[in-house]
A and B are shown apart, each in its own frame.
Chain A
Amino acid sequence: MELFWEHREAIALAFAYTVLLFLFAGIGSMVLGTVLAAMRVGPIPVLRWAGTLYVHLVRNTPLVIVIIFFRIAAPKIDLKFNFVDVVIPTGVGDVRLNNIFTACVVGLTIYTAAFVCEALRSGVNAVPLGQAEAARAIGLPFSGVMTQVVLPQAFRATIPPLANVQIALLKNTTVAGALGVAEAFVRMRLLIKNNPAELWTLFIGFALIFVILVEVLSFISHRLERRVRVS
């Protein structure tokens, strides 16, 4: 336990990276996933096809490969993220959002968006067809049909699977650690290396922190679910 207290600042900093990776990729994947879902359920064949291709391609590729692509392969074809370099001083050390961090966020976003898309699409399919027809019949264009009628109802059916997708993302941020972001997993390995005797304490400690973070997400999801059920 003293070990955690002793290294509390480094651990906090590491989890700051974890949470930031999660927040950026979480928001990014929600936006991209919604666009993809709209493409897949929309009336334009080319977009449908493109959306389907995206999902199948990305969903069937291991996350590590997606992130390695942006981290290592993409710079070779001049797709770099060097324009990003933000330093956030925290008092216990800087949090540095650089090209490596961005590449990992992009990889996580691209990967998670495919799952967000599928969660949303299953929600959309759960909305009876008559709802969309009635919306079209009063003259709403496709965008209005989706935003006013279908998505608000799909959202209800979608909260639990979306929460699962985002929880998976939170845990998947550890992959970024393997590729150069000093997030929680990296800090854990480092601490284990320097304190091999404390292996189990460290293991359980870090796992517990993840469990707490995931529980926070679940809690938010439950609240949301209850909120929309009332209306």
Chain B
Amino acid sequence: MCLTGVQKHYGSLHVLRDIDLEVDRGEVIVVIGPSGAGKSTLCRAINRLETIDEGEIAIDGQPLPQEGKALARLRADVGMVFQSFNLFAHKTILENVTLGPIKVRKKSKADAEKRARELLDRVGVGHQADKYPAQLSGGQQQRVAIARALAMEPKVMLFDEPTSALDPEMIKEVLDVMVDLAERGMTMIVVTHEMGFARTAANRVVFMADGAIVEQADPETFFTNPESDRAKDFLSKILKH
């Protein structure tokens, strides 16, 4: 996946400044940075939940189309996991996972359900398949959300602070699923402040501030010896907690 010269404004606010980012197949990128840096906006731009003003975003060499059916199809290749889970409240866990494969990938119901059950087992919520989202804990819901994204067989997975709405004891169960996913070779872009995850699973840390990529390095280098003052300042703040 390749972003070149991506710019985005909200009115007079320049939220993405000239973003260039290349992500190789199977690479795991952790995006980190202070609040308001534009991390969420970056994720949302990658699957076009937000439009961009300038620049290009390409997946497998194919630029993302602007509008319509072609965009919807390409969006299916990018899995997204939200901070607030966003499971479909009126559908069961199983239906949450099979909706995309049936309606977008045109799989048969039987195939989609078989695959969905495999994925739900893999993320450890197989026995909850017939419940509704509201009956599950946050950690369980987030794992279902991961299974829902995986069911589309995406080329890339985006995670926007997937654990920051969770109670501490549930964070690990979600991170474990993500580490497993990284080990299986999934290409991932993860916005998170979980440094443990960054250290174990990430190939690269991208540090953003004020809408720009300030610095990128492998996790070890970034956490022990950051180059920029912005990154040093930011790390000293989060490490104090």
Contacts and interface: CB of A to CB of B under 8 A. Distances in A.
Interface of A: 128, 130-131, 133-141, 144, 148-149, 152-153, 156, 231
B49 A136 contact: yes
Interface stretch (B4-12, B79-87, B112-120): B79-87
How many chain B residues sit at the interface, stated as a range, is 20 to 34
A128 B99 CA distance: 19
Nearest to A149: B88
Interface string B23-61: 000000000000000000000000101000000000000
Contacts of A149: 88, 90
Interface stretch (B67-75, B166-174, B176-184, B192-200): B67-75
A153 B87 CA distance: 12
B76 A139 contact: yes
Contacts of A136: 49, 72, 75
B72 A148 contact: no
A141 B104 CA distance: 9
A138 B89 contact: no
Given A131-B89, A149-B88, A231-B90, A140 B72 contact: yes
B88 to A, nearest CB: 6
A138 B49 contact: no
A139 B151 CA distance: 12
A138 B90 contact: no
Contacts of A128: 86
B152 interface: yes
A134 B82 contact: yes
Contacts of A139: 72-77, 100, 104, 152
A144 B86 CA distance: 16
| Majority DSSP secondary structure for residues of A touching B | helix
A141 B149 contact: no
Contact of B49 (A137, A140, A144, A153): A137
Contacts of A135: 88
Task: Identify the 8 closest CB pairs spanning chains A and B, nearest first.
Answer: A139-B76, A138-B100, A134-B86, A130-B86, A137-B80, A139-B104, A141-B72, A139-B75
A182 B100 CA distance: 52
A229 to B, nearest CB: 11
B143 interface: no
B174 to A, nearest CB: 17
Interface string B145-170: 10011001000000000000000000
Given A137-B47, A139-B76, A131 B86 contact: yes
A138 B76 contact: yes
Contact of B149 (A133, A138, A144, A153): A138
18 contacts: A130-B86, A131-B88, A133-B49, A133-B82, A134-B86, A134-B145, A136-B49, A136-B75, A137-B75, A137-B79, A138-B75, A138-B100, A138-B149, A139-B72, A140-B72, A140-B99, A149-B88, A231-B90
B126 to A, nearest CB: 20
Given A128-B86, A139-B74, A149-B90, 14 more contacts: A131-B86, A131-B88, A133-B86, A134-B82, A136-B49, A138-B100, A139-B72, A139-B77, A139-B104, A140-B104, A141-B72, A144-B103, A144-B104, A156-B90
Given A136-B75, A144-B103, A153 B82 contact: no
Nearest to A153: B90
A141 B72 CA distance: 6
Nearest to B100: A138
Nearest to B78: A137
- Give the interface centre of A134, A140, A152, A156 by most chain B CB atoms within 10 Å: A134
A140 B89 CA distance: 17
Contacts of B86: 128, 130-131, 133-134
Nearest to A138: B100
A114 B76 CA distance: 35
A52 B86 CA distance: 29
A106 to B, nearest CB: 34
Contacts of A231: 90, 132
A91 to B, nearest CB: 46
Given A136-B49, A136-B75, A139-B73, A130 B88 contact: no
